């Protein structure tokens, strides 16, 4: 069931829509994206492809430093993204959360993880991002 809060966090760009993940939290220093796992997300061994995890974490970690007030995202680019794959999902939904851990006016550092809807830790990541403009 979708409420007004969900509508405010519609997919931000076509690639996000293609993969099917959506923003569920966006505030200064923190962002969360969620994805219902579908067959199209799976690799040959039946678990989500690493690119799905990496795309979600790139978005969550990047968005964590791009809060421009309300639902406005300040433009930024990824400089580095390091991921460590730790487990396999047992649930049906992936939840990526990113948080800013440091930086300056233009460059910021974020960390985050992906858990499934049962709370299992699947992936950890860190990244460096640069605000544009």
The SS3 assignment for 105 reads coil
Q: For 31-87, write each residue's pLDDT tens digit.
A: 999 999 999 999 999 999 999 999 999 999 999 999 988 777 899 999 999 999 999
Residue 96 token pair: 């990526």
Q: How many domains does the chain have?
A: 1
Contact (CB, 8 A) for 71 and 24 = no
pTM of the full predicted structure?
A: 0.89
Q: What letters, b where the CB count within 10 A reaches 16 and e where it falls short, cover 81-95?
A: bebeeeeebeeeebb
Q: Give residue 8's pLDDT band: very low, low, confident or very high (50, 70, 90).
A: very low
Average pLDDT over the chain, rounded to whole? 91
Percent of the chain at pLDDT exceeding 90 = 82
Q: Give the range of the structural domain holding residue 93, as residue numbers without chain letter.
A: 4-131
Give the separation between CA 61 and CA 84, rounded to whole angstroms. Answer: 14
* CATH number of domain containing 83: 3.10.129.10
């Amino acid at each position: 069931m979708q409420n007004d809060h969900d509508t405010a966090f519609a997919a931000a760009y076509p690639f996000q829509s293609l993969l099917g993940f959506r923003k569920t939290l966006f505030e200064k220093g923190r962002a969360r994206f969620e994805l219902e796992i579908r067959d199209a997300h799976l690799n040959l061994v039946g678990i989500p492809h690493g690119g799905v995890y990496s795309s979600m974490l790139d978005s969550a970690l990047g968005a964590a430093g791009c809060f421009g007030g309300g639902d406005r995202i300040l433009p930024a680019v990824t400089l580095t993204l390091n991921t460590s794959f730790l487990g396999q999902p047992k649930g049906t939904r992936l939840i990526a959360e990113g948080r800013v851990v440091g930086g300056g006016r233009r460059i910021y550092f974020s960390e985050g993880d992906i858990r499934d809807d049962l709370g299992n830790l699947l992936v950890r990541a860190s990244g460096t991002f640069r605000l544009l403009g």
